[in-house]
A and B are shown apart, each in its own frame.
Chain A
Amino acid sequence: MRLKNSFLCLLIVVVMALVLGKTTVQAETVDQRPVMLVYDSKNIANHGDLNLDRCQRLLASLGLPVETIPLSHYQANTLKDGQYQGVITMVNWGQSRNRNQAFERDRTAFKGIKLHIGPGLQADERQGLGGTFKTLVHQQLSGHQGRAVQPLSTNQLLLVNVKHAANALSVGWLTSQNHPGTTYSFGVKVANNGFLPELSSDGLAITLAGQLITKLFKVPTRLQSPLLTITGITPYTKSRDLSRLIKQLSSRGTPFALSITSVDRNTDLKAFHRYTEVLRLAEKAGGLIFLRPPIETGTQRLNEKKLRSVFQTELTSLGADRVIPAGISAPGYWNRSERRQKAVLSRASHVILLPDQSQRLEELPVEPEPAVTNSHRFKAGLIGIPLASLDTVAYRSKIKFVQPTALLVKMPESRTKVDQLVQHLQDSKLQWFDPVRNHLKTTVKVGSVLYGYHSGQYFLNHEPITDLDASRKASSRNDDRITQTSWLNRVIQWQSRMLLWLLSFLGLILAILLLIGWRVYQRKFMRSDVKKGGINHFK
């Protein structure tokens, strides 16, 4: 009997373990299905393309893969329950009233998560959300998240939820300066349906949108501090200013990251080593390096293979000088392009997604983006938000960041501006992400080399690097390039030079002989001729 009891206990334990184990495994597997993002128009004239890019980056930072489709390109029966986690309808250009019946029909039938951003709420969406909506015209509104308040920069039409449905959950709220008493909820969640009035460039609006999406898509997140990231650092940045900034930040105990660009040529020049020297200074001060792929210019774009080789050259030349990037930072469109994604972004575990440059209507893109794009997810994607977008927030330290965020600051151009920036950061009272305290672990793989970072320690192919300056000392001797020409080239050079000398020597002799000859000729024959000619002439 005892044996039987103990066997039963064992059985129960085993079953329990199995069941529990299975559930934990299930909890860990993340939904791989993408989110469909359907937008009506890019509305480039009003920078609607930037809103779209912001939404894509926000989703990527929350670990959600995105498939972006313009409304006009949507084909019937694309949106199916099994294939997409959810659908986001983004209206960038309310006045245009673009409709696609097939999409609306499919969306009504779709049972997954639905989120609407912007005006132009359709009947099926209104039904899902319940409550009543109202369009606010030209009102100065402020967004609230807890105690943090920010006046919204938009003063266009804004659709807001006036009356909630019974089971509605609101995220953040809006107050109007015209009517201080009334408040509207910012983000609304009703079961599987969500609504956001806008996704503007205001920092607070982005964090609120992040919170709503987290709740809607049930993304497991925890509050995290933003990473201070200095952008726009190039090899041509004044090294004195950069090292001053690094020293001041480290002396104040502010953890930081640098988004740097490098060069793939001339890496043997002294100037390049001077650049890496400053970057090593940053590494030693606890700063993280995020390599930014070079700026694309000109009329041609490299294919995946060439792009990869450019990127590899940059990484290798930096690595040779012991500048170990912790990750990659790139504008949002790099994540939408398959080629750039594969060649560069997929190499790193941590990617900072920087905002796109605003397109200009009169400027045709060199390489038009395909209509349907896929944004990928990373082990850890960080959305880059300019720190300036939080400048107008009152009680800044109270902002909650649910998505991994990098707050971007442009590298100042002069010494006084460096001091001003450090002072500004001091005043902002934000709690910054500390890679050491948070046990950050990153990898960047390039070719056969694996660069690693783990709470302050750098690794090269899993081997810890003890002295960052070690390789530098060895290589400092070859700073000035010595071009070794082959003996054949030297012979040819020497030969051509000798030939020149010989020719000029012969030419000189020829000229002298010619002169002597001319003299002799003149003495013997010309004198009489000249006299004759002269006389004839005078005649």
Chain B
Amino acid sequence: MTRVIDSLCICQKCNIFSLCNISVFLLYRKFASGNIKAVYTDCAINLEVLGLKKISQVMKIRPSMITVILCALIVGWLIFLKPIHGYSDNGDFQSLMATNDLYRTHQIPAGYVSPHFGLMQYYNPLYLKQITAQTAVIHIAVGLNRLFYSRSVFDIRFLGAVYYVLYLGGVAVLARGLVGGERRLRHYLMAAAVTLFVADSSFTLYFNSFYPQALTFILMLYLAGFALLIMRGKTLNKWLTAGLFLSAILLLLVHESTSLLILGILIVSIGIFRLPDCQWRHGSAVIICLLLFTCWVSANHITREAREMNKYQAMTQGKLLAAAKPAEIAKTSHIDGQFSLMKGESYYPTAYTALAPDSDYTRKNFTQQYNLPWLIHDYLTHPHQFGLLLDKAAKNTMVLRPRLTGTQEKRTGSKPFQQTHYFSLFSYLAGAYYPKTYGFNCLLAVAVLIIYGSGLMRGSKKEQQLLKAHLWLVSGLLSVVVLVPPATIMLYGTANFVIHMLPVAVCLSLTGFILLSDVVQHQLWGNSNAT
């Protein structure tokens, strides 16, 4: 019996319910009979006593850990349990699947999530034709699938699981960076708010799909989390810094449009390199060169078809869409005015078109007749049109779900293109109430910078250091918010906003949370002794 009490002491020390259970289990193993009853009662009393204390002190779980556990439960339920949820194919999967040796085993009607895919068994000429950061993730998932499930059928949940693990790591890093290690009530509230953002189903549904947005989102969590953690630390932690740059490089390599984040990443890196104890002065130049090179590779390492598509849609879903008299493009270029009828057309029309956008005729008479400098010049001479498109981009920034997709598996009685409303408060509020003009985003950027600037002017030297670093981080994020929309319109038009604008939406939200965290932790306005 003394041994039992000894064990209970340990149990009291750890104070955690789950560990309690483990100790009980161990006791059960030790004393196979007789003493078990006593152990249970003791443990129950123990818990009752503990329950009276404040939760934060009892649980001894950090708020960031709570965020991770909540996210694990919320997202795990959504993507792993049958019927599984994800995003259905809107036509983007085909090339990604083909380059990763996957294929569609049977015809699933559009608007339903397909849970299973085939693994190609023979030579595939398209294999690894297009390598992105996503390829690595898909390969890990396929490897796990081969090991544990099947060599011929791929279950999408293996991909979901790889994303899930990466995501939980990202959430942990971000939550720790934003909320810190303290256990006050406000930190728990902050953790709850962060959960609302990171566990939103609009983001997490991407895990059970082949869209590149999943990895973009996860890596942005890592990037911001690592940056915050580094800035929080008293000395520059080289592992955190390595993590930051690794996630930055991977983020640049996810999709050709994520290469536009380079400016934001560079600003954040400068913020890191300017930390007082940074000894990487020489290494910094190398890292910046590496980042720039990665950006160049990512932007140029795309198939000819993708290049043609971007060029075509930059015109049809950009310039032509904004112009009141689109036929006037004939005045400044060699394009026949008749091509203004392609206004709004996608490179892959849904079902019908008068003239295929990828036909030789279109290429010869339309796509080859203009280039990016012409487009930039044209937008400069018609700023009003550009303004319209920027507002359109702003309107779509907070639309986080891809169009023409469903989120459910095909079951009896389910309709195609149905979208779940599970845990989507954040995306609903952001989509419905966030102002939908580009000018507002610019003003917001200026306002946030003024707030940080004014915070920097007062405050002690130690706080100044943190705020200065945060100012760099926030200006990096805001540079994405301000500069990515115009670049996107020039390069891709208004097509596929959901891929191109996701980083903007995430950056905007992260800025908001960093600001909130600094306000909550009294780093911006007075009362600094409170922390």
**Which residues does A use to contact B, with CB under 8 Å?**
234-239, 261-266, 269-272, 274-275, 293-302, 306, 310, 413, 480-481, 496, 500, 503-504, 507, 510-511, 514, 518, 521
User: Is A300's CB under 8 angstroms from B340's CB?
Assistant: no
User: Is A269's CB under 8 angstroms from B327's CB?
Assistant: yes
User: Is A294's CB under 8 angstroms from B352's CB?
Assistant: yes
Residue of A nearest to B438 (CB): A500
List B residues 455-471 near A (Cβ within 8 Å). 457
- A275 CB contacts on chain B under 8 angstroms: 338, 341
Q: Is B414's CB within 8 Å of the partner chain A?
A: no
Using a Cβ–Cβ cut-off of 8 Å, how many residues does chain B contribute to the interface with A?
A: 42
- B348 CB contacts on chain A under 8 angstroms: 297-299
User: Is A274's CB under 8 angstroms from B337's CB?
Assistant: yes
User: Is B351's CB under 8 angstroms from A302's CB?
Assistant: yes
Q: Mask for B130-173, Cβ within 8 A of A = 1, else 0?
A: 00000000000000000000000000000000000000000000
User: Is A500's CB under 8 angstroms from B437's CB?
Assistant: yes
B440 smallest CB distance to A (angstroms): 6
Q: Is B446's CB within 8 Å of the partner chain A?
A: yes
Which of B337, B341, B356 meets A266, CB within 8 Å? B341
Please list 29 pairs of residues, one from A and one from B, whose beta carbons are closer than 8 Å in the complex, sorted by A's number. A235-B338, A236-B336, A236-B342, A236-B361, A238-B336, A239-B338, A264-B352, A266-B340, A270-B325, A270-B340, A274-B337, A293-B352, A294-B353, A295-B352, A295-B354, A295-B356, A296-B351, A298-B349, A298-B350, A299-B91, A300-B351, A302-B351, A310-B352, A500-B439, A500-B443, A503-B440, A503-B443, A504-B439, A514-B450
Q: Which 4 A-B pairs have CB atoms at the shortest separation, nearest pair first?
A: A294-B352, A261-B354, A234-B355, A500-B439
Residue of A nearest to B109 (CB): A300
User: Is B355's CB under 8 angstroms from A301's CB?
Assistant: no
**With the chains together, A480 CA to B324 CA distance in Å?**
8
**With the chains together, A237 CA to B353 CA distance in Å?**
14
User: Is A269's CB under 8 angstroms from B355's CB?
Assistant: no
| Given the contacts A297-B351, A302-B351, A236 and B341 also touching, CB distance less than 8 Å | yes
**With the chains together, A310 CA to B362 CA distance in Å?**
22
**With the chains together, A401 CA to B443 CA distance in Å?**
75
Specify which of A265, A301, A413 lies most central, judged by the most chain B CB atoms within 10 Å of its CB. Answer: A265
**With the chains together, A307 CA to B84 CA distance in Å?**
33
User: Is B327's CB under 8 angstroms from A236's CB?
Assistant: no
| Given the contacts A236-B361, A500-B443, A507-B447, A297 and B339 also touching, CB distance less than 8 Å | no
Q: Is B344's CB within 8 Å of the partner chain A?
A: yes
User: Is A300's CB under 8 angstroms from B354's CB?
Assistant: no
Q: Is B27's CB within 8 Å of the partner chain A?
A: no
- B235 CB contacts on chain A under 8 angstroms: none
- B362 CB contacts on chain A under 8 angstroms: 236
List B residues 410-459 near A (Cβ within 8 Å). 435-437, 439-440, 443, 446-447, 450, 453-454, 457
List B residues 365-387 near A (Cβ within 8 Å). 365-366
Which of B325, B340, B437, B447 meets A496, CB within 8 Å? B437
| Given the contacts A234-B354, A269-B340, A507 and B437 also touching, CB distance less than 8 Å | no
| Given the contacts A266-B343, A507-B450, A236 and B338 also touching, CB distance less than 8 Å | yes
- A271 CB contacts on chain B under 8 angstroms: 326-327, 337-341
Q: Is B94's CB within 8 Å of the partner chain A?
A: yes
| Given the contacts A274-B338, A496-B435, A296 and B352 also touching, CB distance less than 8 Å | yes
- B341 CB contacts on chain A under 8 angstroms: 235-236, 263, 266, 269, 271-272, 275
Q: Is B74's CB within 8 Å of the partner chain A?
A: no
A265 smallest CB distance to B (angstroms): 7
Specify which of B94, B326, B353, B439 lies most central, judged by the most chain A CB atoms within 10 Å of its CB. Answer: B353
User: Is B454's CB under 8 angstroms from A263's CB?
Assistant: no
| Given the contacts A236-B336, A236-B365, A295 and B440 also touching, CB distance less than 8 Å | no
- A239 CB contacts on chain B under 8 angstroms: 338
**With the chains together, A368 CA to B325 CA distance in Å?**
41
Q: Is B516's CB within 8 Å of the partner chain A?
A: no
Q: Mask for B53-69, Cβ within 8 A of A = 1, else 0?
A: 00000000000000000
**With the chains together, A266 CA to B342 CA distance in Å?**
8
User: Is A504's CB under 8 angstroms from B443's CB?
Assistant: yes
A205 smallest CB distance to B (angstroms): 30
- Other A-B contacts than A236-B341, A271-B340, A296-B351, 18 sampled, CB-CB below 8 A, are A236-B342, A261-B354, A263-B341, A269-B327, A271-B339, A272-B341, A294-B352, A294-B354, A295-B356, A297-B348, A300-B91, A301-B351, A306-B351, A480-B325, A496-B437, A507-B446, A507-B450, A514-B454
**With the chains together, A236 CA to B355 CA distance in Å?**
8
B510 smallest CB distance to A (angstroms): 22
**With the chains together, A350 CA to B356 CA distance in Å?**
26
- A306 CB contacts on chain B under 8 angstroms: 351
B87 smallest CB distance to A (angstroms): 15
**With the chains together, A480 CA to B323 CA distance in Å?**
12
**With the chains together, A297 CA to B437 CA distance in Å?**
35
Which of B91, B337, B436, B439 meets A298, CB within 8 Å? B91
- B91 CB contacts on chain A under 8 angstroms: 298-300
**With the chains together, A298 CA to B358 CA distance in Å?**
11
A262 smallest CB distance to B (angstroms): 6
- A236 CB contacts on chain B under 8 angstroms: 336, 338-339, 341-342, 354-355, 361-362, 365-366
**With the chains together, A481 CA to B435 CA distance in Å?**
29
Specify which of A236, A266, A275, A510 lies most central, judged by the most chain B CB atoms within 10 Å of its CB. Answer: A236
**With the chains together, A274 CA to B336 CA distance in Å?**
12
Residue of B nearest to A293 (CB): B352
B349 smallest CB distance to A (angstroms): 5
| Given the contacts A235-B341, A271-B327, A413 and B361 also touching, CB distance less than 8 Å | yes
User: Is A302's CB under 8 angstroms from B352's CB?
Assistant: yes
**With the chains together, A503 CA to B440 CA distance in Å?**
9
**With the chains together, A503 CA to B447 CA distance in Å?**
10
- A511 CB contacts on chain B under 8 angstroms: 450
- B450 CB contacts on chain A under 8 angstroms: 507, 510-511, 514
Q: Is B292's CB within 8 Å of the partner chain A?
A: no
- B353 CB contacts on chain A under 8 angstroms: 294-295, 297
B260 smallest CB distance to A (angstroms): 25
**With the chains together, A376 CA to B351 CA distance in Å?**
24
- B263 CB contacts on chain A under 8 angstroms: none
Residue of A nearest to B345 (CB): A265
Residue of A nearest to B110 (CB): A300
- A514 CB contacts on chain B under 8 angstroms: 450, 453-454
**With the chains together, A329 CA to B462 CA distance in Å?**
79
User: Is B354's CB under 8 angstroms from A235's CB?
Assistant: yes
| Given the contacts A496-B435, A507-B446, A507-B450, A298 and B351 also touching, CB distance less than 8 Å | yes
- B339 CB contacts on chain A under 8 angstroms: 236, 271
**With the chains together, A274 CA to B327 CA distance in Å?**
11
| Given the contacts A269-B326, A271-B338, A496-B437, A507 and B352 also touching, CB distance less than 8 Å | no
A344 smallest CB distance to B (angstroms): 11
- A310 CB contacts on chain B under 8 angstroms: 352
A164 smallest CB distance to B (angstroms): 50
Residue of A nearest to B91 (CB): A299
User: Is B343's CB under 8 angstroms from A269's CB?
Assistant: yes
User: Is B338's CB under 8 angstroms from A297's CB?
Assistant: no
| Given the contacts A236-B338, A269-B326, A299-B94, A263 and B356 also touching, CB distance less than 8 Å | no
B189 smallest CB distance to A (angstroms): 28
A487 smallest CB distance to B (angstroms): 19
Residue of B nearest to A526 (CB): B457
B94 smallest CB distance to A (angstroms): 7
User: Is B344's CB under 8 angstroms from A297's CB?
Assistant: no
**With the chains together, A300 CA to B446 CA distance in Å?**
45
- B324 CB contacts on chain A under 8 angstroms: 480-481
**With the chains together, A500 CA to B350 CA distance in Å?**
38
Specify which of B351, B437, B440, B450 lies most central, judged by the most chain A CB atoms within 10 Å of its CB. Answer: B351
A306 smallest CB distance to B (angstroms): 8
